[in-house]
């Protein structure tokens, strides 16, 4: 018999309150908006290391799976489906950041 896992419930996309429907949105544009709201890694800034800029080719490759980091910024998001769990992204970038980004994009889209 398979046991119930709290983590399974916590990160299930249809039960988690941080899951947001992104259907109809351009995922590359959404990824750029999420990336721009995330801050560069502190280690790079503190050590005076060049902070990578937005790279479209890298972003297109990243859309194929889970994105932990992209061009020096932590995202922790998977945009492969139309219902996305933004829990880890919001933990790093601030509560509600993903919802504001998606809402802004939807208001511009419609």
Q: What local confidence, expressed as pLDDT, does residue 67 receive?
A: 95
Q: What local confidence, expressed as pLDDT, does residue 13 receive?
A: 45
Q: What local confidence, expressed as pLDDT, does residue 4 receive?
A: 39
Q: What local confidence, expressed as pLDDT, does residue 14 receive?
A: 46
Q: Give the three-class secondary structure for 72.
A: coil
- CA–CA gap between residue 103 and residue 96 (Å, rounded): 10
Domain boundaries, the chain: 6-109
Structure tokens that stand for 108 in this block? 């511009």
Q: What local confidence, expressed as pLDDT, does residue 106 receive?
A: 87
- CA–CA gap between residue 41 and residue 71 (Å, rounded): 10
Each of the 110 residues of the chain gets a pLDDT tens digit; together they read 444 333 443 444 444 567 899 988 999 999 999 999 998 876 665 666 676 789 999 999 999 999 999 988 999 999 999 999 999 999 989 988 999 999 999 887 65
Residue 63 neighbours by CB distance under 10 Å: 16
Structure tokens that stand for 16 in this block? 């988690």
Helices (H), 12-63: 27-37, 42-46, 56-62
């Amino acid at each position: 018999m398979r046991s119930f896992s709290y983590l399974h419930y916590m990160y299930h996309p249809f039960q988690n309150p941080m899951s947001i429907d992104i259907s109809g949105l351009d995922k590359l544009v959404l990824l750029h908006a999420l990336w721009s709201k995330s801050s560069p890694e502190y280690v790079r800034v503190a050590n005076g290391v060049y902070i990578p800029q937005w790279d479209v080719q890298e972003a297109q490759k990243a859309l194929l799976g889970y994105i932990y980091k992209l061009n020096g910024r932590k995202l922790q998001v998977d945009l492969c489906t139309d219902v996305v769990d933004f829990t880890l992204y919001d933990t790093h970038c601030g509560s509600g950041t993903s919802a504001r980004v998606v809402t802004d994009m939807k208001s511009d889209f419609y």
